[in-house]
């Protein structure tokens, strides 16, 4: 539950600069631990979620990014009938995502930065479109848990890139046989590839920025991102460290999206794509290898195999960076890490989240030394290990 916050008197002005902590539950005190609302607050969390996702789908943030507007003006321009619109907009004000002054709405700073598709280096709208289409996937959760089936997220992907991207329909349950190829299914059509890659750029934005800012890159010259998607990690790191050059390694089908994104952010002179399959091919070599949100997609043997391949590819003294929404070691605190694990375990064949302690153990068993876990951003954590110098 959220921390106790004092009830506030509603005002017509919203502070222009808020920290994320100030933006959540600003106006309502958290329910006491024995109140029914301690339960109801969790049960209705999907209302907040769907209000935000529908607002993105309706184009509210991208419209307000260039034209602050009244509710009536927005409805007129975006083809919204009006019923419920004022409540939606004011709910977004209460969530700290919009500001309202004298009846005119505009994006709050955090939405201006991250929900404006014309700012490709910081925009996360693609992830929200993916989540909006995937909203229905979780409606299949009970049946997936009961039957052990897999929720087919490629149907959600397909819906997220179609005109009618809110309507993924009923979740489809499929088998979870070891031979299934979930990425092959997900990438079944070109627009699904680009939809998934854009989603990853948004999902990983906070972690990628933090890797660029918090990790000591001074002694490295080269970095390779394994399972790089559109190349958002390299974009965030190389833009902050002009002495670095980068390689993005991913399935060949991903190359077009990588090239387009790196061009958009002006970094094609220092980053290149290397197509390959990490089951069949060696990993590229570099002073630093990165795997972000990759290991959680796979079973334990594959996780260990990828860590061992990274060890082989690194030079002595090279470092491996692994980051995820890690689960806390005692598996009782980090709800996001636990729910991402639930999500991957129901959409993939053998995927599962893990703790920092587990990851450290796999890395040390492979030969890595100086293994450390640190916080990146939000639920995201980094595990770093060093391949020892040859004696
Ligand atoms: C969950 S995404 C994470 C993307 C990115 N690292 C991030 O954090 O946003 C997993 C990535 O692994 C890539 N991938 C899946 N199977 C692969 C394989 N066999 N070889 C290389 N890359 C693969 C996918 O294409 C995808 O880009």
List pLDDT tens digits, range 56-77: 999 999 999 999 999 999 999 9
211 C-beta closer than 6 A to ligand 1: no
Contacting residues for 276 by C-beta, under 8 A, at least 6 apart: 249, 250, 251, 252, 283, 284
- In this prediction, residue 8 carries a pLDDT of 35
- For each of the domains in the chain, give its residue range(s) and CATH number, in order of start: 20-117 (1.10.10.10), 126-197 (no CATH), 204-386 (3.40.50.150)
Mutate which of 195, 278, 293, 294 for ligand 1? The one with the most ligand atoms within 8 Å of its CB, which is: 294
Q: Show the tokens assigned to 263.
A: 């061009």
What's the rounded Cα separation, in Å, for the pair 251 and 68? 42
Measure CA of the first residue to CA of the last residue in the chain; give whole Å: 51
Name the pairing type of β-strands 222-226 and 104-107: unpaired
Q: List pLDDT tens digits, range 135-158.
A: 778 888 999 999 988 888 887 777
Atom number in ligand 1 closest to CA 197: 27
292 C-beta closer than 6 A to ligand 1: yes
Residue count of the chain: 391
The structure's pTM equals 0.89
Whether the predicted pLDDT of 21 surpasses 90:
no
What is the pLDDT of the chain when averaged over all its residues?
89
- In this prediction, residue 162 carries a pLDDT of 67
- Residue 355 is classified by DSSP as B
Name the pairing type of β-strands 380-386 and 319-324: antiparallel
Q: Over pLDDT 70: what percentage of the chain?
A: 90
Q: Which of 243, 296, 375, 381 is catalytic?
A: 296
- In this prediction, residue 169 carries a pLDDT of 59
Nearest-CA residue for ligand 1 atom 14 is: 227
Q: Please check whether residue 345 is in contact with residue 315, taking contact to mean a CB–CB distance below 8 angstroms.
A: no
Q: List pLDDT tens digits, range 42-57.
A: 999 999 999 999 999 9
Nearest-CA residue for ligand 1 atom 10 is: 294
- Establish whether 296 is a catalytic residue: yes
Q: List pLDDT tens digits, range 78-113.
A: 999 989 999 999 999 999 999 999 999 999 999 999
- In this prediction, residue 136 carries a pLDDT of 79
250 C-beta closer than 6 A to ligand 1: yes
Of 359, 299, 351, 355, whose CA–CA distance to 326 is shortest?
355
Which whole number is the average pLDDT over 178-191?
Answer: 82
Which whole number is the average pLDDT over 336-347?
Answer: 95
Question: How far, in Å, is the centroid of ligand 1 from the Cα of 47?
Answer: 31
- In this prediction, residue 5 carries a pLDDT of 34
Ranges of H-type helices in 100-254: 109-114, 125-134, 141-147, 153-160, 182-186, 190-203, 205-214, 232-240
Nearest-CA residue for ligand 1 atom 3 is: 293
Q: List pLDDT tens digits, range 207-225.
A: 999 999 999 999 999 999 9
- In this prediction, residue 22 carries a pLDDT of 44
Question: How far, in Å, is the centroid of ligand 1 from the Cα of 227?
Answer: 3
Q: List pLDDT tens digits, range 252-261.
A: 999 999 999 9
Question: How far, in Å, is the centroid of ligand 1 from the Cα of 110?
Answer: 28
Mutate which of 229, 236, 299, 340 for ligand 1? The one with the most ligand atoms within 8 Å of its CB, which is: 229
């Amino acid at each position: 539950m959220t921390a106790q916050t004092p009830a506030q008197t509603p005002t017509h002005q919203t502070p222009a600069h808020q920290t994320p902590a100030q933006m959540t539950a600003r106006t309502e005190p958290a329910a006491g631990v024995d109140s029914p609302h301690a339960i109801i607050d969790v049960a209705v969390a999907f209302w907040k979620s769907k209000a935000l996702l529908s607002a993105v789908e309706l184009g509210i943030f991208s419209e307000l990014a260039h034209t602050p507007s009244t509710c009536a003006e927005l409805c007129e321009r975006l083809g919204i009938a009006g019923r419920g619109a004022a409540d939606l907009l004011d709910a977004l004000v209460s969530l700290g995502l919009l500001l309202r002054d004298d009846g005119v709405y505009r994006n709050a700073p955090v939405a201006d930065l991250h929900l404006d598709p014309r700012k490709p280096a910081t925009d996360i709208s693609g992830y929200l479109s993916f989540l909006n289409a995937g909203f229905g996937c979780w409606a299949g959760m009970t049946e997936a848990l009961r039957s052990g089936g897999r929720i087919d997220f490629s149907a959600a992907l397909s819906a997220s890139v179609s005109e009618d991207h809110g309507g993924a329909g009923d979740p489809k349950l499929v088998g979870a046989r070891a031979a299934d190829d979930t990425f092959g299914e997900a990438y079944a059509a070109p627009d699904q590839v680009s939809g998934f890659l854009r989603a990853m750029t948004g999902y990983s934005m906070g972690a990628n920025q933090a890797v660029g800012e918090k990790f000591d890159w001074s002694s490295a010259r080269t970095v390779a991102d394994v399972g790089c998607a559109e190349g958002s990690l390299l974009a965030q790191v190389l833009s902050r460290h002009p002495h670095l050059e980068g390689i993005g390694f991913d399935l060949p089908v991903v190359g077009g999206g990588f090239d387009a994104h790196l061009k958009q952010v002006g970094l094609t002179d220092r980053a290149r794509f290397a197509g390959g399959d990490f089951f069949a091919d060696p990993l590229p070599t570099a002073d630093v290898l990165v795997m972000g949100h990759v290991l959680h997609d796979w079973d334990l043997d594959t996780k260990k195999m990828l860590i061992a391949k990274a060890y082989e590819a690194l030079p002595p003294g090279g470092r491996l960076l692994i980051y995820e929404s890690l689960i806390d070691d005692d598996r009782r605190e980090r709800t996001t890490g636990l729910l991402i694990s639930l999500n991957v375990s129901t959409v993939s064949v053998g995927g599962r989240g893990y703790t920092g302690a587990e990851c450290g153990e796999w890395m040390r068993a492979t030969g890595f030394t100086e293994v450390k876990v640190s916080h990146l951003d939000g639920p995201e954590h980094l595990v770093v290990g060093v391949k020892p110098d040859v004696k």
